[in-house]
Amino acid sequence: AQKITQTQPGMFVQEKEAVTLDCTYDTSDQSYGLFWYKQPSSGEMIFLIYQGSYDEQNATEGRYSLNFQKARKSANLVISASQLGDSAMYFCAILNFGNEKLTFGTGTRLTIIP
């Protein structure tokens, strides 16, 4: 079984500061994928970034980067220069390549303060 742990239920960050959202995972699979999604209050689930377990370099997508530490089973999301529009729930998820099941964490509610 796979598990995602997000230990920060809520975070308040000043606008323009960098933010790190924590994610640790547990899996017995050798190959897997790690995702971060953003869910604003309107409800849609927006893909942010993906990291494959076999990728040696950390993934980056614009202001988003994924700090992947495989030995620690950690996949933290870093948002640089936070903006008011970044206020949302953020979910970390792991994909089992074998059964195609995407397992989500409980999420972190990020609030950006002007």
Partner 1 sequence: DSGVTQTPKHLITATGQRVTLRCSPRSGDLSVYWYQQSLDQGLQFLIQYYNGEERAKGNILERFSAQQFPDLHSELNLSSLELGDSALYFCASSVDGQYSGNTIYFGEGSWLTVV
Residues that bind partner 1 (CB under 8 A): 33, 35, 37, 42-47, 50, 52, 91, 93, 95, 97, 99-104, 106-107
Q: Which is nearer to partner 1, 35 or 112 (CB)?
A: 35
Query: Closest approach of Cβ 85 to partner 1, in Å?
Result: 16
Residue whose CB is less far from partner 1, 4 or 13 = 4
Residue with Cβ nearer partner 1 (13 or 49): 49
Kindly state the smallest distance separating residue 21's Cβ from partner 1, in Å.
16
What's the burial of 105, exposed, middle or buried (CB within 10 Å: 0-12/13-18/19+)? buried
Q: How far apart are the first and last CA of the chain?
A: 41
Question: CA–CA separation, 25 vs 68, rounded Å?
Answer: 11
CB of 65 to partner 1, least distance (A): 16
Q: Is the CB of residue 29 less than 8 Å from the CB of residue 85?
A: no
Helix (H, G, I), strand (E, B) or coil at 46: strand
